[in-house]
Chains A and B, each alone.
Chain A
Amino acid sequence: MSLERAYRRLLLAYPAHWRAQRAEEVLSVLLDTAEARGARRPSAAEALDLVGHGLLARTAGLGAVLDARTRELTALLALASLTALSLLCLLMAEWWPWPVTPLPPEAMPEPAVPVSDWPGTPGPFLTLGGPLFLALLLPALLAMAGRPRAGRLLLLGLVPVVVAVPLIARVLELNRPALWTLCGLLAFSGLALLAPVRRGALLAVLSAAMSAAALCAVVANSASGSDERSDFYHSYDRLQNLVDHAPLAVALVLAFAAGRRAVLPAALVGAGWLAMLAAQSGARGSGRSLSLPLATGAVGLCLVAVCAALYRRGTGPEPAR
């Protein structure tokens, strides 16, 4: 395969509209650089660079319907939500570092099964979610350390891992986190990739989100009162705590982004939380009656978001005079 053809194939990672504008220009840089170093094929580093940036450009294209400021706010809230959710699941389900006082057996809502008796627990964690949640904390930390692009590339690389977790767990015969958690992580990851976020704003929103997540974990673990990890993903008591306190966490996060411009991003990210909670309450069996209003709320928020986006672009219907 000729060098030019190989580069053209790699440039397919970029969206079509980007290639129409830029491909010839970038190709000339690639060929000039390759000729200068006498290369006959693209290096692995070049391929990774082009594919990574191409996929990032595609995520930016997905958000083209939103203006730049709205994309940035949405990405900011989604990244904070992703980090908070990962921290919440890590502390409430996978690994709780401090011992808690066990409640008397008659006060326990469900008979707790010692995690040590469960098969398929990887290392210190309950499920494969443990290492995944730890990895998902890194993109926000990289952004805070002044490496937002590295954080986005890492997050982009983690998206297929999130998708593959059920398969990996099956192949390795390990436990996996509940599917509603993975769906929530995917939704927030997609929204977080819409735009790079500013360090100062991320610091404020992330502090609120992570504080709220840690607070929820403390409250839930204290209320549970068990020194064994119970099945967070399906049992009622901790989930009830989460459902009770998650709106508080979301409200705290959204409060930092208050203002007219925050309505659309808040609706998009809020819909992600509500949809996840709806799936969660449906999954736990006893709470199916709760899933319908939550799902309706999610759909309603999505509709509001789409309408607001159309109005912003000036393509929506004329408001009534």
Chain B
Amino acid sequence: MSEQLREPTYLLLAALAGGRQHGYGLVKEVAELSGGRVQLRAGTLYGALERLVGEGLVAPGGEEVVQGRLRRYYVLSNRGTQVLAEQTAQRRQTVDVVVRRLRTAGVQL
């Protein structure tokens, strides 16, 4: 079982689960996935990407120049997919338990 990922890292991996993404695409995907709560800044994004590439969870996925701007793409590695699945299962388990407890306490979700 992998160590619990922090939310921005988890969201980055989740954003890549839909296919390869470039930097700005990741910023938008993470904001959308988190309902606008997490707005990644460029320094934080690239710090996290370098770490994830170093850990083998993310891999480079090609590059292109669009309107004079360089776009490098990133993809989820097999190990990254496995870690994302484990983390999601852990989180789902926690959510299921909390939902049951809230329902027992009479809270409707």
A30 to B27, CA, bound (A): 10
In this complex, the interface size class of chain A, counting residues with CB under 8 Å from chain B, is 20 to 34
Whose C-beta in chain B lies nearest to the C-beta of A29?
Answer: B23
A49 touches B69 (CB 8 A): no
Contact residues, A1-50 vs B (CB, 8 A): 22, 24-33, 45-46, 49-50
Q: Residue-by-residue, is A237-251 near B (CB-CB < 8 Å gives 1, otherwise 0)? A: 000000000000000
Cβ of A68 within 8 Å of any chain B Cβ, yes or no, is: yes
Residue from the set A27, A33, A199 with the largest chain B CB neighbour count within 10 Å: A33
User: A53 touches which one: B23, B46, B63 (CB < 8 A)?
Assistant: B46
Q: Are B45 and A29 in contact (CB under 8 A)?
A: yes
Q: Which A residues lie within 8 Å of B45 (CB)?
A: 29
Q: How far is the CA of A30 from the CA of B40 in the complex (A)?
A: 11
Q: Is the interface of A mostly helix, strand, loop or mixed?
A: helix
- Assembly CA distance A149 to B51 (angstroms): 12
A146 at the A/B interface (Cβ < 8 Å)? yes
Residue of A nearest to B45 (CB): A29
Number of interface residues of B (CB under 8 A): 21
Q: In the complex the two chains form, is B24's CB within 8 Å of A32's CB? A: yes
| Interface positions of B from 63 to 98, Cβ below 8 Å from A | 63, 69-72
A177 in the interface, Cβ–Cβ < 8 Å? Answer: no
A52 interface contact, C-beta 8 A:
yes
A146 engages B6 (CB within 8 Å): yes
**A52 lies within 8 A of B42 (CB):** no
- Could you tell me which A residues sit within 8 Å of B by CB distance? 22, 24-33, 45-46, 49-50, 52-54, 56-57, 68, 146, 149, 196, 199
Apart from A27-B69, A49-B43, A199-B3, list 6 A-B contacts with CB within 8 A.
Answer: A22-B46, A25-B23, A26-B46, A28-B23, A28-B70, A29-B23
The 30 listed contacts between A and B (C-beta, < 8 Å) are A22-B46, A25-B23, A25-B71, A26-B23, A26-B42, A28-B23, A28-B24, A28-B70, A29-B22, A29-B24, A29-B27, A29-B42, A29-B45, A30-B42, A32-B24, A33-B42, A45-B41, A46-B41, A46-B42, A49-B42, A49-B44, A50-B42, A50-B43, A53-B43, A53-B44, A53-B47, A54-B43, A56-B47, A146-B4, A149-B47
